[in-house]
Amino acid sequence: MPVKDWRAIMTTDTKTMSPAAIRKLQDERDRFWRALHTISKYMPPRELETKSGRLYGLPPDEATEYAYENVLNTAKGAIKGARKPS
């Protein structure tokens, strides 16, 4: 059975969430999705190893290190300011 008012399902223990709180959760969800989408577009490790010299002028191990730092920075940017789930 479809819910007529989607805000009715966005509740805490005792009350319905405010529109601002719902917007904050939606923004957080969107930020997480964008980060995961960005990370999913990164070059796979094997491809990075074979193309790193030609594309970036780096040896494979150094290119992998930079790629790892990029993944960490993207993830850190996504969770910055987000509360840890309880």
Q: Is pLDDT larger for residue 37 or for residue 21?
A: 37
Tokens 């040896």 belong to 59
Contact 66, 52 (CB under 8 A): no
Q: What are the two backbone dihedrals, phi and then psi, of residue 45, each rounded to the nearest 5 degrees?
A: -55, -45
pLDDT band, very low/low/confident/very high, at 12 (cuts 50, 70, 90): low
3-class state of residue 53 by DSSP: helix
pLDDT at 82 over 90: no
Q: Is pLDDT larger for residue 18 or for residue 69?
A: 69
pLDDT at 13 over 80: no
Residues 67-77: tens digit of each pLDDT: 999 999 999 99
CA distance 74 to 86: 23
3-state DSSP helix/strand/coil % of the chain, to nearest 5? 65, 0, 30
